[in-house]
Amino acid sequence: MHHWVFHKAFNADEWFGFCYLITSPCGRMYIGKKQFRHTTRKKVKGRKNRKHITKQSDWMTYTGSSKELCAAIASQGIENFRFDIISLHETKGSLTYAEVVWQLTFDVLRATLPDGRRAFYNKAITTNIRFIPPKPTDREREHRIS
């Protein structure tokens, strides 16, 4: 059995991957994505093209890619964290796009807890945005479509 929770039963063989939300006991969170399977190409003697090999990923035991989050899980115990699957996806493109949408929707790089600490362990949006943007100014808020 695995630690992931989803609001209804599903067959992992019918999906490409999922977006998830991990919540710590102190309320900090992490949003990410995980594939159910990985495909590799293996060179076969006597063939021009490579053989495609599909294997199940480690999704059942996976606890996120954030080093800070994994350290917190190791020190506080996996049983104290909540692992929610927030969406299932049929393609790699859909999975990647959904992860970015979830991360932007929850403002993972700027959101803070009531005590002022960062609300999310995420340090990047997908793999390309690796900075914490400044909070919008009043002027920027005024010049936005409502």
- Could you report the per-residue pLDDT of 15-69, keeping only the tens digit for each? 999 999 999 999 999 999 999 998 888 888 887 788 778 899 999 999 998 999 9
Residues near 40 by beta carbon (within 8 Å), at least 6 away in sequence: 52, 53, 55
The proportion of the chain whose per-residue pLDDT surpasses 90, expressed as a percent, equals: 59
Range(s) of the domain holding residue 30: 4-142
**Structural domains of the chain, count:** 1
CA 92 – CA 128 distance, rounded (Å): 17
Distance CA 85, CA 3 (A): 10
Whether pTM exceeds 0.75:
yes
For residues 58 and 16, the answer to whether their CB atoms sit within 8 Å is: no
Q: How far apart are CA 102 and CA 18, in angstroms?
A: 12
